[in-house]
A = this chain, B = another copy of it.
Amino acid sequence: MDNFTFYSPTYFVFGKQTENKAGAYVKKFGGNRVLIHYGRGSVVKSGLLDRVKASLEKEGLSYSELGGVCPNPKSGLVYTGIDICRSQNIDFILAVGGGSVIDSAKLIAAGVLYDGDFLDFCKEKPVERALPVGTVLTIPAAGSEGSPNAVITDETTLVKKGARGDAIRPAFSILNPELCFTLPPFQQAAGISDIIAHVLERYFTPTENVEATDRLCEAVLLTVIKEAPAIMKNPRDYEAQANLMWAGMLAHNNVCGVGRIQDWASHNMGHELSSLYNTVHGASLSVMFPAWMKYVMDVDVSRFVRLAVNVWSCSPNGQNPKQTALEGIVRYESFLKSLGLPTSLKELGVKTEDIPKLVEHLKISRPEGCGGFKRLSFEDAEAIYLLADRETL
């Protein structure tokens, strides 16, 4: 186990009707003049935004609004948000939505207190100061409600890049599983794919003797695998939604990843699909992760066997561990398909001849290469895109 620090100071407020406490928590964490940040209208239509506003009004808090965040959020709206905050002396950002909204809110919060371009934070400069951010989460997926991360697409280069820093961990996050009852099935499924990927990016490590975090990773995966089919069958299953929503936070506040080198190559390769084809993030991962697994399996077959046995209930084949490892990947792919997710580039509408462009773009986004379990060359990346192009196992 490597030395590490772990810090997850977010105050989580979980359960039914908790969005009505948003105002009280903004006040608890020092907010007075709030910017409510949200997406493209579903929170308006559902009445959620009105309930949140009412809770702010109840506490005597003033607020402005900035909607319009799209999936794979863009830099443009962040600049708009920073301008609003500065001109209106906003002192608290309240994100009402999913990962895209929260990420956009985090970068507004960081940008307001920074004299330069907020995109500097996407160049390894950690965010050290930011306005406090609160969240009302509407989909379990990105884990941004408990993470120090934010991902944004620079509109001038179409490069999808990440910023991080303890200063952008949310002060509080409100998680009401009831808010997920009306999610479109594909969006819900993509969120599930994202949660699984957040765990797997940590599970695949060259660091040895990390039993505690291995077991936590397996615990979160087992929870997701149990609850996901119940949710796809009946999205109003509160208990299944509740377990999934909490698992989504655990998958990405790094409690599953401390003390170990992590991978993240599948995310990096998936980001290129989102940048160039606007692929839904979770769908980019359902395509790239199984392909990555097949390509890197030989680096440490025993780790793939462990996943297959402990998570996918495969019987270990002592004579042929590789067969067990592959069986685990097949079950993962079958699971993703059962949720209605794509597992090949074809299903995303990405053609074989587009692969060189993806690789070229990856060279710009990740000139240093990617992957901690196996460091990938750009030839490796191309081979993995080609694997993702084929029919699945």
Q: Which residues of A are at the interface with B, using a C-beta cutoff of 8 A?
A: 1-16, 18, 208-213, 215-216, 218-220, 222-223, 226-227, 239-240, 242-243, 246-247, 250, 255, 258-259
Contact = CB atoms under 8 A, between A and B. Distances in A.
26 contacts: A3-B14, A3-B15, A3-B18, A4-B15, A5-B14, A6-B14, A8-B8, A9-B11, A14-B258, A14-B259, A15-B259, A209-B239, A210-B243, A211-B222, A211-B226, A211-B243, A212-B243, A212-B246, A212-B250, A213-B246, A216-B219, A216-B250, A218-B219, A246-B258, A246-B259, A250-B255
A292 B247 CA distance: 31
Nearest to A218: B219
Contact of A255 (B1, B5, B255): B255
Contacts of A250: 212, 216, 255
Contacts of A211: 222-223, 226-227, 243
Integer count of this chain's copies in the complex = 2
Contacts of A10: 7
Nearest to A1: B242
A3 B178 CA distance: 12
Q: Give the interface centre of A3, A18, A208 by most chain B CB atoms within 10 Å.
A: A3
A209 B243 contact: yes
B209 A242 contact: yes
B243 A1 contact: yes
